[in-house]
C-alpha cells in the first residue's frame, strides 16, 4: 500500500500475485520470524515477569517493553519479504525500487 501507492483491495490483490508460486517461502519466512519474536519476547518477559505480580500496570509496561523491542524486527522481516518476492517475480533492482519509492512519496 505504501510503496506502490495502492488502496487496500488493490494491495491485497498485488500481495496474492506476488506470493503465487512462492507461498511456502513466504509462509516459512513469516513463521520463523514469528517464532523468533515469540522466543525473544518470552526471554525478555521471564525476568520482567516478576514485576507483573505488582498489578496490571506493571504487566502492561512489561508487555509494552517487549512489543517495543520485538515489533521492529518483525516489521523489517515483512518489508524484506516484500522486496524478496518482488526481486524473484519482477527482477527488482535498486534503481526501480528508488523510482517506486520516489513516486509513492510524491503521490501523497
pLDDT digits (tens, 9 = 90+) for 12-62: 898 888 889 999 999 999 999 999 999 999 888 888 767 667 788 888 888
Instruction: Measure the CA–CA gap between 66 and 39, rounded to whole angstroms.
Output: 11
With a cut of 70, say whether residue 1 has pLDDT above it. Answer: no
Q: Which three cell numbers stand for residue 108?
A: 501523497
Instruction: Average the pLDDT over each of 2-6, 30-34, 82-86 and give the range with the smallest value.
Output: 2-6
With a cut of 80, say whether residue 100 has pLDDT above it. Answer: no
Domain ranges of the chain: 8-106
- Cα 9 from chain centroid (whole Å): 19
With a cut of 70, say whether residue 76 has pLDDT above it. Answer: yes
The C-alpha torsion from 28 through 94 and 87 to 10, rounded to 10°, is 90
Amino acid at each position: 500500500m505504501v510503496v506502490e501507492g495502492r488502496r487496500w483491495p488493490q494491495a491485497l490483490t498485488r500481495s496474492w500475485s506476488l506470493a503465487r508460486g512462492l507461498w511456502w517461502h513466504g509462509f516459512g519466512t513469516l513463521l520463523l520470524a514469528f517464532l523468533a519474536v515469540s522466543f525473544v519476547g518470552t526471554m525478555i518477559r521471564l525476568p520482567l515477569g516478576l514485576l507483573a505480580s505488582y498489578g496490571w500496570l506493571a504487566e502492561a509496561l512489561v508487555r509494552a517493553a517487549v512489543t517495543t523491542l520485538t515489533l521492529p524486527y518483525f516489521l523489517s522481516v515483512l518489508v524484506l519479504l516484500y522486496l524478496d518476492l518482488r526481486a524473484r517475480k519482477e527482477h527488482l533492482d535498486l534503481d526501480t525500487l528508488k523510482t517506486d519509492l520516489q513516486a509513492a512519496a510524491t503521490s501523497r
